[in-house]
Amino acid sequence: MYTFSNRLKTFSIALIIIGALGVVYGFMTSHKSFEDVETMLATEASHGGGHGEEASHDVATTHDMTAENAALTETGEAHVDEHKEHVEHVQHQLANRPWSAIYVAAFFFFMIALGVLAFYAIQFASQAGWSPVLFRVMEGITAYVLPGGLIVLGIAVASGTIGHYNLFVWMDPEVVANDKLIQNKESYLNLPWFIIRGLIFIAGWSLYRHFARKFSIAQDNADINDNRNFKKSFRIAAAFLVFYIYTESIMSWDWIMSVDPHWFSTLFGWYVFSSMFVSGITVIALISVYLKSRGFLTFVNDSHIHDLAKFMFGMSIFWAYLWFSQFMLIWYSNIPEEVTYFVTRFQDYQLPFLGMVVLNFVFPFLLLMNSDYKRLPWFIIMAGLVVLGGHYIDVFVMIMPATVGDRWFIGIPEIGAILLFAGLFIMVVFTSLTKAPLLAKGNPFIKESEDFHY
Amino acid sequence: METSKVIHAFYTDDDVLMSAVKRVKAEKYHIEEVFTPFPVHGLDKAMGLEPTRLAITSFIYGCIGLVVSIVMMNYIMIEDWPQDIGGKPSFSYIENMPAFIPIMFELTVFFAAHLMVITFYLRSRLWPFKTAENPDVRTTDDHFLMEIAIHNNQFELENLLKETGAVEINIVEKVEAH
């Protein structure tokens, strides 16, 4: 049995408190009055050196077509409106920032748990012989699926009910009234249906998680020749994977793609999947290495770590493949209605957008290629942290351009949100790890897994 | 031409072979060669063979392929005749790079794979009209053969090999190739 060390518990509580302070600070400083924003823009313009107010008007009105669709005329009156609209636009972006910051962090930690759940189901459905020793670690991580999913959905809904439509412009009836494109999507993109869909997804995932865990523990206590629980696990894993691949796709349209309701991409669901899958596997590796170093996973050997590292390596390349496929197809054909997605990212997010390719692809590709390195715990930890950082930025670049535009920065609200959810994640996961023995001894493949050697 | 004597010990089971190899190594005899009809997992480790460096050569070949593709396309598409083809930006390599990536990828894989295979053939001396080297035809079907050179220790070796479970032991005069 694992005992949640007091130091780690204190650490996670500290993360939650510090993170919560950062989030509160973010919300308190994000509400700027019209005049505040006006003076801020004026100072920026004078500091910009040549980047005059006139120029910033152009940028503001052309770069974000989703939020504004004003028809501009050349009259003086229109110029005043334009100024007012620009200031309001920036004001809105500033107000969006803390919302987006917690949404990105909440989704990032949630997607880790969901990725692990998919990986876990695949291990059952494929009857993998190497991984059963890691099942309890995976079950521990997937404990975060239910709270994490509810938090993400809660933030999404709250942004449209408590907040001022800070994440999804399609929730704003005023925007929809003036937007033909969103009106056409209204039968899909409306708040009640969005909530129902979200609840169906979360219910399906958590139900699978609940029963998989239940059967896994029941198998531990069952007679040695009684594999009924294992067979049930196998069946529900296969069924879950079918459910998962549909709902994951729809979830990524709902929770991520719909922040840009004018844009669509067909492989987006896969792209989000690859990101959550590789982050999930990385976290399994990190937690396994941690628990092993504390002496709780004596049955996990180098070869298990090696296999996880191979998955990290392969799935990082898979992510890069999908990232590039999505980018290159849109870049190549350059159709205006879909290319704006990447234009804003290239203009305003060049460093994170290209930097994450280095973190998520080049770095793991070169470091995890060597077979010997994949067996070194410190190497896995180092590469894993880089991969996780890269995938945080991945989610960041998916959400932020649509909500805060060029007003992004990774500052107190963002880091606070990461710490808050990291603390919560550690709390939930490690509490769940204490609930059952770390070796799923009833699993029929457990002997093979313990003797696994590569 | 010089001749030397070798001893050929036959086995019919890979587990027996493995333990025999370990035994012979423990007795500090030098195993010249082991012939098997299929890969025996762990045999290389038991014999104390060095790990292969084929993967490292493959990595280097892949890098060469990547460089070849970049230099080629940079010369053709950007430097030699930078045409406007369907509005693609041919001003610099980096601007038009997404269009080149499929070729960069394929050439990297092509070089890495083919040159590594050729390296493998060269290092293991395999080519179409090569004379087969297996000393006994049964070693490609169901027998395992261990070959040990004899240096005035024929009887001790024979006894040792019999103990390890050899089903047949032959002394062979071998013509040295060099």
pLDDT of chain B along its 178 residues, tens only? Answer: 466 889 999 999 999 999 999 999 998 889 999 999 999 998 999 999 999 999 999 999 999 999 999 999 999 999 999 999 999 999 999 999 999 999 999 999 999 999 999 999 999 999 999 998 888 999 999 999 999 988 888 888 888 988 888 899 998 887 765 5
Helix (H) or strand (E) run with residue B102 in it: helix B97-123
Number of independent structural domains in chain A: 1
**Which chain B residue has its CA at the smallest distance from A331's CA?**
B98
Contact B62, B97 (CB under 8 A): no
Residues whose CB is less than 8 angstroms from the CB of residue A37 and which lie 6 or more positions away in sequence, other chains included: A87, A90, A91, A94
E strands, A134-175, in order: none
Nearest CA in chain A to B42: A454
Establish if A366 touches chain B: CB-CB under 8 angstroms.
no
ipTM of the complex: 0.89
Helix/strand/coil for A179: coil
The DSSP code sequence of A227-290 is -HHHHHHHHHHHHHHHHHHHHHHHHHHHHTGGGSTT---TTHHHHHHHHHHHHHHHHHHHHHHH
* pLDDT single digits (tens) A376-404: 999 999 999 999 999 999 999 999 999 99
Mutate: best of A322, A331, A374, A454, partner B, most B CBs <10 A: A331
Instruction: State whether A327 and B101 contact (CB < 8 Å).
Output: no
Query: In the A/B pair of chains, how many CB contacts fall below 8 A?
Result: 12
Give the type of residue at A15. L
Which pLDDT score, from 0 to 100, does residue A27 have?
92
Q: Which chain A residue lies closest to B55 (C-alpha atoms)?
A: A370
- Rounded Cα distance, A303 and A295, in Å: 17
B98 contacts A331? CB cut-off 8 A:
yes
Is A71 part of a structural domain of the chain? no
Is A328 in the B-facing interface, judged by CB distances under 8 Å? yes
**How far away is chain A from the Cα of B101, in angstroms, using its nearest Cα?**
9
**B35 — phi, psi (to 5°)?**
-105, 130
Give the residue among A156, A33, A141, A175 at the shortest CA–CA distance from A102. A156
Chain A's closest residue to B98, CA to CA, is: A328
> pLDDT averaged over consecutive 10-residue blocks of chain A (454 residues)?
90 96 92 84 72 42 44 59 87 91 96 97 95 95 96 94 89 90 93 96 97 94 89 95 96 94 92 96 96 93 94 96 95 92 93 95 93 92 95 96 91 95 96 93 92 87
- Indicate whether A199 belongs to any domain: yes
Judge whether A202 lies within some domain. Answer: yes
Q: Which CATH number fits domain B4-37+142-174: 1.10.1840.10, 3.30.70.1510, 3.40.50.300, 3.90.1150.10?
A: 3.30.70.1510
User: Is A58 a member of any domain?
Assistant: no
Structural domain includes residue A390: yes
By C-alpha distance, the chain B residue nearest A325 is B98
State the smallest CA–CA distance between residue A328 and chain B in angstroms.
6
**Rounded to an integer, what distance in angstroms lies between the CA atom of residue A438 and that of residue A377?**
19
Report the mean per-residue pLDDT for chain A: 90
Does B51 contact A at CB distance below 8 Å? no
By Cβ distance, the residue of B55, B59, B98 closest to A328 is: B98
pLDDT digits (tens, 9 = 90+) for A116-172: 999 999 999 999 999 999 999 999 999 999 999 999 999 999 998 988 888 999 999
Distance from B59 to chain A by nearest Cα, in Å?
A: 10
Cβ atoms within 10 Å of A288's Cβ, excluding its own: 23
Portions of chain B given CATH number 3.30.70.1510: 4-37+142-174
Contact B98 A369 (CB under 8 A): no
Chain A residues near residue B101 by CB distance under 8 angstroms: 324, 328
Q: How far is Cα A15 from Cα A147, in angstroms, rounded to an integer?
A: 17
B66–A contact, CB cutoff 8 A: no
Q: Please give, rounded to a whole number of angstroms, the shortest distance from the CA of B37 to a CA of chain A.
A: 23
Domain membership flag for residue A168: yes
- Kindly list the residues from chain B whose CB atom is less than 8 angstroms away from the CB atom of residue A332: 98-99
All residues of chain A having their beta carbon less than 8 Å from the beta carbon of residue B59 are: 369
Beta carbons of A324 and B59 less than 8 Å apart: no
The answer for B 97-116 residues in CB contact with A (under 8 A) is 98-99, 101
From chain A, pick out residues whose CB is under 8 angstroms from the CB of B99. 328, 332
A332, A369, A371 member nearest B98 (Cβ): A332
Q: How far apart are the first and last CA of chain A?
A: 27
Tokens 């690859």 sit on residue: A274
Report chain B's terminal Cα–Cα distance, integer Å.
8
Between A324, A369, A371, which is nearest B101 by CB?
A: A324
**Count of Cβ atoms closer than 10 Å to residue B178 Cβ:** 4
| Residue A198 contacts residue A156 (beta carbons within 8 Å) | yes
Helices (H), A178-226: 180-184, 191-221
CB contact under 8 A, B98 and A327: yes
* Separation CA A259–CA B113 (nearest Å): 43
pLDDT at B2: 61
Nearest CB to B101 within list A328, A369, A371: A328
CA distance A344 to A338: 11
Considering only CB atoms, B99 lies closest to which of A332, A369, A371, namely A332
